[in-house]
């Protein structure tokens, strides 16, 4: 199959090659690792009001700036770290989102006294990804009852910047739902991975 014959979701367009790689290798692949889920949760929060491509291009900088999203380290951030991050042109310098990331790290550590982040979130789906069959992005929702429930659950645990729309984008990205169009070359591979996926239980999977 040549590159011209590959059919992708239309949101990829003719964007940056990194966007194409993200679509082809990452978007819609089920994820059960706590650190990876925490990273995506933080980045989706930073994306609010911006394009995902902007965040994607800065992801390496975010990983460096936030110590590879190690929750234990981030939870100890103080005023000097906030000042360091506010002075880092490689990331999105938004004080509210930076402070929310620190609070989210603390919330994650508290949650881990009972369960893993993966176990908590996947529990709203009873451990099973939702495999949709959209033929057009006009039918893809911005949020769902499940994303609303996860949002409320996370907020109750102390997480911030986790609204229903942000959470649905997070669900799409981490393979909790398959919102590749059925015509997309990644629909069937992601569906296969989702059918085989075994969601984590109560043990932390980081």
Report, as residue numbers or ranges, the catalytic residues: 22, 44, 52
In a 3-state reduction of DSSP, which class is residue 89?
A: coil
Q: How far apart are CA 187 and CA 24, in angstroms?
A: 10
List the beta bridge partners of residue 177.
Answer: 130
Pairing between β-strand 130-131 and β-strand 177-178 as defined by DSSP bridges? parallel
- Please provide the size of the chain in residues: 206
Residue 116, SS3 per DSSP: coil
CA distance 72 to 67: 10
- The helix, strand and coil proportions of the chain, stated in percent and rounded to the nearest 5, come to 55, 0, 40
DSSP per-residue letters across 122-153: HGGGTT--EE---SSGGGS-S--HHHHHHHHH
């Amino acid at each position: 199959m040549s590159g011209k014959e590959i059919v992708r979701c239309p949101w990829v367009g003719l964007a940056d090659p990194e966007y194409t790689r993200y679509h082809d290798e990452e978007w819609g692949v089920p994820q059960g690792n706590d650190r990876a889920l925490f990273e995506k949760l933080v980045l989706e929060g930073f994306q609010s009001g911006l394009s995902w491509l902007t965040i994607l291009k800065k992801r390496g900088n975010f990983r460096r700036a936030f110590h590879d999203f190690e929750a234990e380290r981030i939870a100890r951030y103080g005023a000097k770290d906030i000042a360091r991050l506010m002075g880092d042109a490689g990331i999105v310098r938004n004080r509210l989102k930076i402070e929310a990331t620190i609070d989210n790290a603390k919330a994650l550590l508290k949650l881990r006294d009972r369960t893993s982040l993966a176990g908590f979130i996947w529990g709203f789906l009873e451990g099973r990804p939702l495999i949709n069959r959209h033929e057009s992005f006009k039918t893809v929702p911005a949020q769902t009852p499940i994303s609303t429930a996860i949002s409320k659950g996370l907020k109750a645990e102390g997480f911030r910047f986790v609204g229903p729309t942000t959470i649905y984008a997070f669900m799409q990205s981490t393979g909790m739902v398959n919102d590749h169009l059925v015509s997309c070359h990644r629909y069937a591979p992601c569906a296969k991975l989702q059918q085989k996926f075994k969601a984590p239980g109560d043990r932390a999977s980081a």
